[in-house]
Structure 1
Amino acid sequence: MSSGPVDRRTFVRMLGAAGVAVGLAGPLGYWGAAPAAAASARGAHQPFMHGYDAAALKSWSPETDRWARYFRSRVPLAARIPAFAATQADPGLATGPKLMNLSFDYDNSFFSAYKYGDVFARRLLRFWQYTDLYGSWHGMPVDGSPEDEPVHGVVNLPNPAWTDAAHRNGARSLGCWFWPRTGEFGDYLERRADGSYPVADGMLAMAEYFGFDGYFINQEAEIPPAEARELMRMLEYLRAKAPDGFHLQWYDTIMTDGKLDYQNAFNDKNADWVQHGDTPVNHSLFANYWLTEEGVATSRRTALERGLDPYEAVFHGTETEKYGFNPPFDARIVCPDGEPARTSWALFGSHFPWDRYPDREDPDAQGEVFVRERHYWSGPNEDPTRTGRTEYVPWPDEDDGKPRDEHNFRKWDGVARYITERSVIGGFPFVTRFNTGHGRAFFLAGRQVSDREWNNISIQDVLPTWQFWTRGAGGAEPLRAEYDYGLAYDGGCSLRFSGRLTPEGPTTARLFKTRLRVTGGERARLVYAAEGRVELGLITEEDPGTTVWLPADRPRAGGWTTAELPLAALAGRTVAAVAVRFSTTGGPADHTFRLGELAFLDGRPAPHPAAPAGFTVDAVHPAGDTAEVFLSWRLARQGVWYYDLTRELPDGRTELLGRILDDVYYVQALARAGSERGTELRLTAVAPDGTRGGTAVATVRRPD
C-alpha cells in the first residue's frame, strides 16, 4: 500500500518485483515434547504457503498444488446479528459504516507461511468484532522460487487460519493481487475464444477450494491503455462469475487508461473500476490516504450519483503501519464526531501494535503488546465506552513520509470511536473458553496437557465483544481485565480479573453482545476460579436498562468451579448482552477471578459426535528420535466444532499434539517416548457445545 506518491517508493521496494523481504516466518513446531532444538528450523517436509504467477493461476488445481490440502479454511462464514443500539458501547454511533482491515497475519511471512506454529510471541488479532473485510497484504514467492532471488507471485492467499478466525466472527477474508512483479502483465489477461479468462477462473477456483471470500486488487504500477481496458473486462468477468458474498476491492491506483495516479477519493477518474456504466466491476474502492474534506465529500457524492451506497462502495484509508497512533491525516474527516460517518473506513497496518514493538519476539513482553492492541482498538483508556484521543497536535501541511510520535496512544481515538461492535452470537449453543489462539501451554478440562508454546488462530474462540467494559460500583476502581496465559480451562488462556476489591465496590464487566431467544429450557454454563462471589448478568431486548443477575455456585478452593444456570426466568425474552459481576464479603483485599468457559446451551441432550472416520497416517519421515508425521481423516459434514489430536504417554498422561477443524494435520517433530516402536495417536471429535465424542486411533510405526 502507498501512503501517497511521496512514499510509494517504500512500498514498491518492499513488495515490488525484487520481492525484498521485511521479515521471515517463525518455524512451525508441534505441541508435543520434542527437543527444543527441533523448534528452531522448518521441517524438511513441512508444508508452507506460496504465491501464484500467471502460469500457476491458469493451470491451478488442488491436485497439482503440492501443499494445497494443508491450507484450506474449513470454518463457514458466521452470520452477524442485527444491530441493537441500546447495548452498544456508544448507543448513538451509526451502524452503517464498515471497516476494511488490511494487514499481514502472524509475522509478515514473505518467504513462507504456516497455518500453526510453535511460538507464543506471534501477532494475532483479538478484535474481529470491528472488522467487516480482512485482507492479507504480504506477497510470497511462487512455488520452487529460490530464496536468495525469490520470484513473487501476483496473487497470494490469505492465511487459512486467519480466514477461520475471520469467518467465526462474521468477517470476510480476502486474498491479495499485487502488481508490479516480474514477468509480462499481459500474460495475466489472456482471453479464450469463448470470452473466458483463465486467470480469473483460476482465482475463483482457488477461493472456493481454500475457503476465502474475494480479493484485494492492488494494481500499483502503470500499464498500457489496452492492458488497462482488458484488466477491467477481466474483473467484470470475475465479478459476474463470482458467488454471492464474494468481494472484490480495488485500491486507488491506476486510472482507466493505465496511468498510476492516486486520487485519494472516489471520483469520476477512478469510479469506473467499481461500476463501468451499468456493469459492476469491483464491489468497493479503498481510497488512498491523503484525506481532505473535499476528497471525502467528493467520494460520497460520486457514490450517490452512481446509485451506490457510500458505506458499501467507498473505504477511505488510514495508514498506521508506519505512522502508528499518530497518522498525518485525521480520520475525523471521514468519521466526524457527533455525525454519521461519510463513507466506510479502511485501515492499513493494524499489525502496528505488535510489529513496531521493540520486544515483540520476547514471550515475557507480550503483555505490553496486548495493552497497545487495546489502545489501538478500544482507545487510550482501553475501554470502548470511553474512546477518544486525549492529546492532539496537527501535523504540518505537508506529509514528509516520516512518523512523528507514533507510539503515543493518547493521539489515537481507537477504532471503536467510529465503528460499532458486531457479534455473531445469535443462537444456541454458544461456547467460548476465551482462547485467543496462542499460548505458553495447553489445557484440557483444567488440566495441563502440554507445556510447549504454540500459535494457531484457527482455533481462536469468539472473544469478548467489549475489551474491556468494566465498572466498579460506587466509584470504586474496577478489577483489571487481562488474558491469563498461565492458567486455562481449555486452550491457552483464561480471562482474568484482578485488583483491590471491597464489599461496597463490586466490579461489573460487560462481555458479549448477543441475540439469544429464550423459550424456557435453555441454560448457561460458567466455569470459573474465584476468591469471591461470581454472578452472571443478562440484559434483554425487552428491558435493556435492567440486568438480571444469576448467582453462581460458591467457588471451590484451588480449582475450577462449574455452575449450571437455568434461564427459565427469561422465557419469552431475548438476551441482548451478557455481563459478569465479582464481589466479596470480606474486608478490602486483592482478589483474582478467572473465567475459563462461558456457554449458552439449548437444553436438549448433548450430541456425541461419531469417531472420526478414515483416520490414517499418510507419511512418516523419521529423524533420530523424532519424526515428521502427516495425518488425514474424513471431515464430518456437520456436528463437529474441532478435532483434538492427542497421545497417551507411558506414564499415563495425555499429551495434546494439535487441535484443528480440518481433515489433515502435520506434526513437525513427534518425539519417541523411551524405546517405543510405535506411537498411538488419538483423534477425538468435539461437538459445537463442547461435548467430546468418539475417538479414532492410528499408530505411527518406527523403523528399527
Structure 2
Amino acid sequence: MDRKGSSSKGSKGGVDRRAFLGMLGAAGVTIGLAGPVGPFALPAHAADDPAPGRAPHQPYLHGYNAASLKSWSPESDRYAKYFRSRVPLATRIAPFAATQADPELATGAQLMNLSYDYDNSFFTAYKYNDVFARRLLRFWQYTDLYGSWHGMPVDGSPTDEPEHGLINLPNPAYTDAAHRNGAKSLGCWFWPRSGEFADYLEQRADGGFPVADKLIEMAGYFGFDGYFINQEAETAPADAAKLMEMLKYLRAQAPEGFHVQWYDTIMVNGKLDYQNQLNDSNAPWIQDGKTPVNNSLFANYWMPDDAQVEKSVETAKKLGLDPYEAVFHGTENEKYGYNPPYDTRLVFPEGKPARTSWALFGSHFAWDRYPDRENPDAQPAVFQRERRYWSGPNEDPTRTGRTEYVPWPHEDDGKPRDADNHKKWDGVARYITERSVIGAFPFVTRFNTGHGRAFFLDGKRASDREWNNASIQDILPTWQFWTRSGGSGEPLPVDYDYTRAHDGGSSLRIAGELGPENPTTVRLFKTALRVTGGERLSVTFLTGHDGGDSGLDVGLILADDPERFVWLPAGRTARGWTTATLGLDAFAGRTVAAVGVRVAAAKRGQYALNIGELALLGGAAERPAAPAGFTVDAAHLAEGSGSAEVFLSWRFSAQGVWYYDLHRELSDGGLEAVGRIYDEVYYVKSLARSGGEPTTRLRLVAVAPDGTRSAPATAEVRWA
C-alpha cells in the first residue's frame, strides 16, 4: 500500500516495513523504494521463530499460488475444513436517526476496514488459539466491508525462505464476527509475488478463467464475500489486458452480493501510477464502458486538498455509479496512528454530506503499535486505544472530534508524527453512523468479546485456560460507551470485565463511587424489535455495593417516543448471579428502538455491577436436537506430557442452532469447558489426561439462539 502519492508527483516513499511484511516477505521479491526505508526485509522474529507456540498437528491457514489455486479442492487442501465460516451474513436494521449517537449524521457513507487478522503471522495463522492477548475487533457496528491484510506462505513452503501466495483468505473467525454484525468479509490478492503473473491468467477455450472460477468456489466454501485486489507492481501490458478480462469474467460469474474492491494501483496499460482518486485513467477498473469490472475503488491516500475527492464524485456520477458504493477514499493509520497526514474532513466536510465512502488501512495499530501488547495484564490500555480510535478521544461516540490538531505540511515525508496522540483523531463514529442487526426476537448477548483469561458457564469458572476465538464473539454494545449521569456527578465508567462472566470470557462492568448525585444510565443496543405479545426481557447480573441499597433498571426506548427511556425495575442488590425476567406485553404493537440500563443508590459508596447476559426473547423456546455423528477423528498424544491434540467432528445443523459447546466430563460430575464453535469440526490443542484415567469423555451440546441447550452427544478419547 502506497503512503504518498501518484508516481507522477514524485517518488513513492515512506513505506513501512511491517505493513508489507506479510505481503512481500520472503517471496523472492526485492523492491527498492525511494525514501527513508528502502528495500523491504523480513523482521528477525519472523525468520528466527516461524511458529512460536504451535502444536505439532495444529491446523493453520496458508496462501495460494497459481498452481495451488488451479488445483484447489476442499479434499486436497489439508486444513480446509477447519477454516470455514458458517455464520450467514446478518441483515442490518433500517437507519433510525432519533437513536443515533449523532442524529444529524447522514447514513449513506460506508466504511471499508482493511486490517490484518492473524496478528501478521506467517505460520501461525489460527482460527482460534490458547492465548488471551490477541487483537480482536470489537467495533463491527461501523464496518461495512472487512478486508484481510497479510500474506501467508503456500502449503509446504520452507520456513526460512517462504514462498507467499497471491491469495490469502480472511480468518474465518473474523468472517463469523463480521457476518454476525452484518459486515462483509473479503480475502486478499497481492502482487508482486514470485513466479510469472501470466500463470494466473490462463484462459480456457470456452472463455472462462480457471483461477477466477476457483476464487468464487473458495469464497463459497470458506464462507466469505469477495476479494480486495492489490495489483501493486508494474504489469506487462498484455497481462494487464488479460487481468481486466478475467476480472470482468469474475464479476459476471460471481453470486449476488459478491464484492471485489480494486486498490488504486496500475493503469489499464499495466503502469503503476497511483491516482489518489477515481478518474478517467483508472475508472475502467471499476467500469469499462458499460461493463462492470470491480465493485469499488480503494483510493490511495495522497490527498492534500479536496480536488481529488471531488474528481472521484464527478467520475462516479459520469459512469452512472453511486459515489458511496463505488469510491472509498483511504486513510492510513497503520503507520501514522491517530495522526494521519491528510485530513479526514476532505472526505467528510463539516456540516455537509460525505462526498464518498471511507477506507481505513491499519486500524490494527491500536494493538500492534502498543509496546506491551503481548502482556495479558496490559490489555486494558490496548482496549482504551481501540475505543479512542473508533469512538473518539473521549471514548464516547456522542462526544467525538479531535481536541488537538496541527495540520501536516503539504508533503508527506513518510515519517509518523505524534502517532499515539489520540487527541488528534476524530474517531470513526464522527463520520460513520452506528449499524445494528438486532431486528427480531430472540436476541441474546453475554458481552463475550471473543477472548478470555478463563471460560465461564452458568456463572462458574469452567476452565482456567486463556483463549481467543473471534468466531464466538457476541454482538457487543452498539455504543462503547454512551453513559449519562442523572445528577451533578460524573457517570460511572463502563468496561468489559475478564475476571467475572456468566457465559464465555467476559461480562459488562459498571463500577465506581455511586450515590444520589450520579445515577448512571448506559445506552447499550440499537434495535428494531416489534413487540406483538408474549415477548420478554431477561437480564442476568451480579451487584456489589458497600454504601447501602442499590438497584438495576432496564430501559427501553420506543420508536414512537424516542426522546425518553421507559424503565423496568430488574431488582436490587443480591448475592451471586441473579436473573430478572420482565414481560413486554405492555408494549404490544410498538417497536423497541434502543435498550439500556440504569444504576442508582440512595447512599454514596463503592458500587459494582456485572451484567452477564441480556436477552430479548420471543415465544416458547424450542429445544434443539442433540448433535448427531459426534466422533473423535484423531488424537495425537504428546510424548511424556499427559496431553493430546484432539480432532473432533459431527453433523452440522444450521436449523435452530446458535453454536455448539464442547465440555469434558469430570470425575466429580462437573464439566470443564473445552471449546465453542458454530461449525462441524473442532481442534483441541491440549486435552490433559486426569490422573491415570483410561478414557476422557467429551460432551457436545447444541445451543439455540435463545440459549436453550440440547441433550448432549458424547465421544471418548482413549489414552491407551
**TM-score w.r.t. length of structure 2:** 0.94
Query: Which of 612, 617, 620 pairs up with 2:632?
Result: 617
Which runs of at least 4 in structure 1 moved beyond 6 Å after TM superposition? Answer: 25-28
- Deviation, structure 1 residue 24: 5.5
Q: Partner residue of 1:209?
A: 221
Deviations 1:78-136 (A, max 9, x none): 00000000000000001000000000014112333001011100001000000000000
Q: Partner residue of 1:62?
A: 74
Separation in 2 of the partners of 1:492 and 1:9?
35
Residue type at the aligned position of 1:409 = H
Query: Which of 620, 645, 648 pairs up with 2:662?
Result: 645
Separation in 1 of the partners of 2:324 and 2:114?
17
Does the 8 Å CA contact 2:52/2:124 hold for their aligned counterparts? Answer: no
Q: In structure 2, do the counterparts of structure 1 residues 204 and 188 end up closer, same or farther at CA, with 3 Å as the change threshold?
A: same
Root mean square deviation, CA, Å: 1.6
Separation in 1 of the partners of 2:134 and 2:473?
14
Q: What does 1:109-128 correspond to in 2, within 5 Å? A: 109-128=121-140
Does the 8 Å CA contact 1:134/1:172 hold for their aligned counterparts? Answer: yes
Deviations 1:237-259 (A, max 9, x none): 00101111110000000000000
Query: Which of 628, 634, 639 pairs up with 2:651?
Result: 634
Residue type at the aligned position of 1:660 = I
- Deviation, structure 1 residue 43: 1.5
Separation in 2 of the partners of 1:324 and 1:8?
14
Residue type at the aligned position of 1:18 = A
Separation in 2 of the partners of 1:578 and 1:2?
43
- Deviation, structure 1 residue 555: 3.5
- Deviation, structure 1 residue 662: 0.5
Separation in 2 of the partners of 1:662 and 1:12?
32
Query: Which of 578, 581, 600 pairs up with 1:583?
Result: 600
Q: In structure 2, do the counterparts of structure 1 residues 615 and 425 end up closer, same or farther at CA, with 3 Å as the change threshold?
A: same
Residue type at the aligned position of 2:501 = A
- Deviation, structure 1 residue 13: 6.3
Query: Which of 176, 187, 199 pairs up with 2:199?
Result: 187
Deviations 1:255-307 (A, max 9, x none): 00000000010100101100000000000000000113100010011001110
Separation in 1 of the partners of 2:52 and 2:145?
34
Separation in 2 of the partners of 1:135 and 1:179?
16
Q: Partner residue of 1:502?
A: 515
Does the 8 Å CA contact 1:25/1:107 hold for their aligned counterparts? Answer: no
Q: Which runs of 5+ in 1 are unaligned?
A: 29-38
Q: Is 2:688 the counterpart of 1:671?
A: yes
SS at match of 2:571: coil
Q: Partner residue of 2:212?
A: 200
Deviations 1:602-629 (A, max 9, x none): 1x22111111100001111112311111
Q: Partner residue of 1:35?
A: none
Q: What does 1:181-580 correspond to in 2, within 5 Å? A: 181-291=193-303, 292-531=305-544, 532-557=550-575, 559-580=576-597
Separation in 2 of the partners of 1:115 and 1:27?
20
Separation in 1 of the partners of 2:14 and 2:124?
26
Q: Partner residue of 2:184?
A: 172
Query: Which of 608, 615, 621 pairs up with 1:606?
Result: 621
Separation in 2 of the partners of 1:526 and 1:233?
55
- Deviation, structure 1 residue 546: 2.1
Deviations 1:331-354 (A, max 9, x none): 110011211110000000110111
Q: Is 2:609 the counterpart of 1:593?
A: yes
Deviations 1:640-675 (A, max 9, x none): 111111111223331111000100011111111000
Q: Partner residue of 2:38?
A: none
Does the 8 Å CA contact 1:323/1:406 hold for their aligned counterparts? Answer: yes
SS at match of 1:100: strand
Q: Partner residue of 1:6?
A: 13
Query: Which of 136, 143, 146 pairs up with 2:148?
Result: 136
- Deviation, structure 1 residue 41: 2.8
Separation in 1 of the partners of 2:553 and 2:120?
42
SS at match of 1:295: helix
**TM-score w.r.t. length of structure 1:** 0.96
SS at match of 1:227: helix
Separation in 2 of the partners of 1:277 and 1:391?
45
Does the 8 Å CA contact 1:27/1:42 hold for their aligned counterparts? Answer: no
- Deviation, structure 1 residue 12: 5.3
Does the 8 Å CA contact 1:17/1:180 hold for their aligned counterparts? Answer: no
Q: What does 1:646-661 correspond to in 2, within 5 Å? A: 646-661=663-678
